[in-house]
Amino acid sequence: MDLLPENRPKVETHLRALGWLAPDEPLLSLAPAGPGNMNRTLRAATPVRTFILKQAVPFVARYPDIAAPVSRLEVESAFYASVSSCPALAMRTPRILGEDRSNHLLCMTDLGPGPDFLSLYREETASSVRTGSYGAQLTAVVYWLWKLHAHGIGIGTGLEQPFQRTPQGAEKSGATQAATPRVLENRAMRELNHAHIFDIPLQVNNGVELSSALQQIQRAYAKDSELKARARALGALYLGEADHASATTLLHGDYYPGSWLKHKSMGVMIIDPEFAFFGPPEFDVGVLMAHLTMAGLEQAEVMMLMRSYVTPPGFSYSLALAFAGMEIIRRLLGVAQLPLTADEDSKSRWLQTARSMVTA
């Protein structure tokens, strides 16, 4: 069953067979729920409600030439199950209404038509943050990450303990089946992301179309043995192949403005944890700090926002900054480009700073 707007009659039949639609409840429309990168994500509407349908296909929805594991939606479902017992986390995430693993399909609550936070990359964002326009929302983003890591340490220290499962057959009736923490190790997605963060941006002739100024920097970085050695070491930490001093915890795995939704009453909601895994908290923090930097904030302003994050045992801000540097390099020189409005001078300056952060 392909989740596509033009397949509405077949989708309706399938949803009714799953028990996700009542016998007398017609499916009136299927429309894209947002830009999306990884998955097909549609908003379904009936006469009485709306809900979100999300399907994983064996490639990245936005980049069909990039293969991707369909197990990512099982990871997403397990992530939501793992945070559901913490009210501070659950209140800012959608709730899973149903899971059809044979078609790699999730049904979840509709958070509304609010946009994501990619508008943070506009040139006027820094002044907006300084004047308070984004302040409360970004504070909530940082606070949520702290609560996730604090909650996830308890899960990460008991990997041998499975989550409580729903009764057999509940999946067919529409209830979500929880998974063991082992699912949240998410090795296949980590290997995909590892290539795009730590490898491809530093490859010679990596095939990414860049401006002449950024192309010159990319070529220099691709020959930079010190930078590449440090990237390999950080990549080993990311893959769990090297030890770190901080307590292993549950990570969102892709904590950037595209994973934050504006919400009319909550201010901000958190979505798309398909890259979630157990690992060093510095990775999530580094990604967050990188995107705050690319939103135009100075390091002092970023650290001011990070006051809402209480560091877990053994946390290293130098490691977080190194991951932040790799995220900046990845986003400016790699495949997953951002809708940045910054000029070339700013991008070049960020890249120079990023190298220093990685190699410090």
Q: How does pLDDT run across 202-233, given as a tens digit for each residue? A: 999 999 999 999 999 999 999 999 999 999 99
Q: Does residue 68 sit in the same domain as residue 197?
A: no
pLDDT confidence of 298, banded at 50, 70, 90? confident
Assign residue 307 the CATH number of its domain.
3.90.1200.10
Instruction: Write down which residue in 59, 89, 109 finishes a domain.
Output: 109
Q: Which residue has the higher pLDDT, 129 or 158?
A: 129
Q: Does residue 68 sit in the same domain as residue 30?
A: yes
Query: What's the confidence (pLDDT) of residue 155?
Result: 77
Instruction: Write down which residue in 92, 109, 126 finishes a domain.
Output: 109
Report whether pLDDT(23) > 70: yes
Q: Does residue 204 sit in the same domain as residue 85?
A: no
The residue range of the domain holding 339 is 118-359
Task: Quote the mean pLDDT of the chain.
Answer: 90
Query: What's the confidence (pLDDT) of residue 168?
Result: 35
Q: Does residue 101 sit in the same domain as residue 122?
A: no
User: From CA 129, how far away is CA 142, in angstroms rounded?
Assistant: 14
Assign residue 42 the CATH number of its domain.
3.30.200.20
DSSP state of 167: P
Query: What's the confidence (pLDDT) of residue 253?
Result: 98
Q: What is the pTM of this model?
A: 0.91
Query: What's the confidence (pLDDT) of residue 204?
Result: 95
Segment 244-249 shows an average pLDDT of 94
Q: Does residue 34 sit in the same domain as residue 154?
A: no
Q: Does residue 10 sit in the same domain as residue 131?
A: no
Name residue, tokens 């890259």: 275
Instruction: Write down which residue in 109, 143, 163 finishes a domain.
Output: 109
pLDDT confidence of 176, banded at 50, 70, 90? very low
pLDDT confidence of 180, banded at 50, 70, 90? low
Query: What's the confidence (pLDDT) of residue 125?
Result: 60
Query: What's the confidence (pLDDT) of residue 157?
Result: 58
Q: Does residue 24 sit in the same domain as residue 97?
A: yes
> Which residues, including other chains, have CB under 8 Å from residue 28's CB and lie 6 or more apart?
45, 46, 47
- Number of structural domains the chain divides into: 2
Query: What's the confidence (pLDDT) of residue 165?
Result: 34
Averaging pLDDT over each range in 57-71, 130-144, 343-357, which range is the top one?
Answer: 343-357
Q: Does residue 131 sit in the same domain as residue 148?
A: yes
pLDDT confidence of 35, banded at 50, 70, 90? confident
Q: Does residue 243 sit in the same domain as residue 345?
A: yes
Count other Cβ atoms within 10 Å, centred on residue 340: 18
Number of H helices, E strands in the chain: 13, 9
256-295 residue pLDDT tens: 999 999 998 899 999 999 999 999 999 999 999 999 999 9
Q: Does residue 38 sit in the same domain as residue 157?
A: no
Q: What is residue 99's three-state secondary structure?
A: strand
Q: Does residue 86 sit in the same domain as residue 153?
A: no
Alpha helices per DSSP H over the chain: 8-18, 72-83, 87-90, 125-130, 135-156, 170-173, 187-194, 212-222, 225-238, 281-294, 299-305, 317-333, 344-359
Q: For residue 34, which of 131, 108, 98 has the smallest C-alpha distance? A: 108
Question: Token pair of 52, please?
Answer: 């979100």
Segment 174-188 shows an average pLDDT of 66
Q: Does residue 282 sit in the same domain as residue 195?
A: yes
Angle at which helices 317-333 and 281-294 pack, to 10 degrees? 50
Segment 165-178 shows an average pLDDT of 36
